[in-house]
Every structure is written in structure tokens, then in C-alpha cells.
Amino acid sequence: MKQKIRYATVGLGHIAQTAVLPAFKHTENSELAALVTGNSGKDRELSERYSVRAYAYADLENAVAEQQVDAVYIATPNSLHREYTERAARAGAHVLCEKPMATTEEDCEAMMRAAEENKVKLMIAYRLHFNDANLRAVELAQSGDLGELRYFSSLFGLQVNAGNIRVRKDLGGGTLYDIGIYCINAARYLFRDEPIEVVGLTASNGEERFSEIEEMTGALLRFPRERLAVFTCSFGSTDVAQYDLVGTKGRLRLENIYQSAKTGRTVRVEPVPKRRRPDLEMKIKRPPIEQPELVGGSAPHQG
């Protein structure tokens, strides 16, 4: 029998407790090997629940060595993604990191450098492009039935409460980092291309919960072949999650799946080469997890 990949989960917040940890129950090629957390209050209970040892953040390297960890799943606040990716890579562990990769280009490049230098794999845990409806949309977009693809439009909105990690600047919160990335990614995997120009606006209605980050972001992106993508993402609206893709001959809309701009100026984006993009072959079906009881009152972290 093939040996399973042994994961240490780093960060035990909402996404780890509600999605990552319980999902190991259904993995065929992976198993949970250790927990790494900065919150000692959560250690014991989760350690017992999942029958693995818990380590402090400072002891990540020990966890990797002592528990024969092959890979880490980084579920810390966004602002810590770089640090734990670099440390895990130096310790020889592959890295699967929660979205967004990081909140600055500099951090992202440092993470890629760390993975390269230490010869480990680095992957960001986006999941929506593996969703069945999205893979079908990708297939339809590629089929020619829509003609030449011309423009994309997406809305992604929800209400986020004051104090939530998503509206805390020091922890890497923000509409673009948390949900706008889904809109950008959808345009990327539908167009099978990378944006080359972007312009946008942010807005805030003045409520206390939006004192650190913007209420919403609107952006327009130019893609190669003169395609346009536009989206609005918001932490202050009713739930909305949709995209429209319009071609010369047809159009498609996806609803309830999901849906750059600090300045008002156009920003040129350097093209990024891309080897492989999401397609139907990548689909893996696993049973849904049962929701476990939360430990330590974690606020929701990820969309």
C-alpha cells in the first residue's frame, strides 16, 4: 500500500476546525500528523479529538522532524502565510497554503523562492475552481459554443461582522484578498490567461467595522486578446455570488458559487507564464465532512 502524506496543520482557527481537520477523515492519500498553534487553549482538546500531538508555533520545526511531517497545511491569518511557508520549506516540508497566498507581491515571491531553494512544492488551497459547476463552465468556455470569449463580470458580496479577521488589517484582511481573488481567478481560468492591466476603486460607507479595511472593491482588468473582466466584491452587502461570461455567440452565468485597487490609476501587470490550468480531469469527489464543535470560539476566516 502506498504511504500516506503526513500533514501538520498550522493555525487552528475557523477554517482549520471546520474544513481542514475534519476533511482528513475522507482523504485517501493524506493523514493528519501534527497540530501547530499559537493558541495553547485549543491544543489539548483538538489534540485529543484528532489523536495527534499539538505543538506551539515556535516548535513548527520540531513538529516536522518528530512527526515525520511531509507537508504543512498553513491556515494561519493571511499576514503569517509567508513566515510559516518559509519555515516549513526550510524544514523540508511541502506547503499547502490557505488563500490568499499573501497580501503583498513581495511576500508571494519570497514564498516561491523558499519553496524553490528548499526543493519543496508550494500550492495555494483554492478550491472553487475544482467545484463541479466551475469545471463545467471551463469546459463550456473552451468548447467554442460561446464563440470567442469577450468579457467577464462578477459580483461577490456578503455581510462581515465587526472584529472578524476579514476586516482586520494587521491580520491581512480585506475584500480583495478574501473574496476578490475568486473573481480574478474565475476570469483567469475561464479566459485561460493572465491579466495585463488593472484599474479599480474602493469604497467604504463609514461604518466602524470598515475602519481598517475597505467595505468594497470594484475593479476592471484587461486580459490578452483584448478581453475585459470586471468585478465588485463587498463585505457590506447581502449575499451575492455570481459571474457572467459573454462571448461573440453565447453567454453563461453561474450563480451562488462565488464571485486591484488601492489607487485610481491604471496599473500595468507583468504577464505570468502558466503551465497548467484547472480542467475536468482534476475533479476529485470526497464525501462532505460532518461539522465538528468549535474549540476556542474561532471566528470565520475563509470564504
Does position 262 interact with a copy of itself (CB under 8 A)? The reply is no
Does position 250 interact with a copy of itself (CB under 8 A)? The reply is yes
**To the nearest whole angstrom, how small is the minimum distance from the Cβ of residue 122 to a copy of itself?**
32
In this chain, which of 40, 68, 104, 159 binds a copy of itself, going by CB under 8 A? 159
Tell me which long-range contacts 165-168 makes (C-beta under 8 A, separation of at least 24).
Answer: 165/13, 165/77, 165/299, 165/300, 165/301, 166/213, 166/235, 166/300, 166/301, 167/209, 167/210, 167/212, 167/213, 167/235, 168/77, 168/212, 168/213
Binding to a copy of itself by CB under 8 A, coded x per residue (else -) over 160-199, reads -------------------------------------x-x
Q: Where does residue 178 rank: exposed (0-12), middle (13-18), buried (19+ CB within 10 A)? A: buried
CB closer to a copy of itself, 50 vs 156: 156
Question: Alpha-carbon distance 255 to 285, whole Å?
Answer: 21
CB closer to a copy of itself, 205 vs 291: 205
Helix (H, G, I), strand (E, B) or coil at 88: helix
CB closer to a copy of itself, 125 vs 220: 220
Asked if omega into 100 is within 30° of 0 (cis), the reply is yes
Question: Alpha-carbon distance 71 to 120, whole Å?
Answer: 9
The stretch near a copy of itself (CB under 8 A) out of 14-22, 50-58, 91-99, 226-234 is: 226-234
**To the nearest whole angstrom, how small is the minimum distance from the Cβ of residue 226 to a copy of itself?**
4
CB closer to a copy of itself, 5 vs 252: 252
Q: What are the Cα distances from residue 240, in Å, to 14, 158, 232? A: 22, 7, 10
Can you give the binding site for a copy of itself, defined by CB under 8 A? 146-148, 150-151, 153, 155, 157, 159, 197, 199-201, 203-206, 215-216, 218-220, 222, 225-228, 230-232, 234, 236-238, 240, 242, 244, 246-251, 264-266
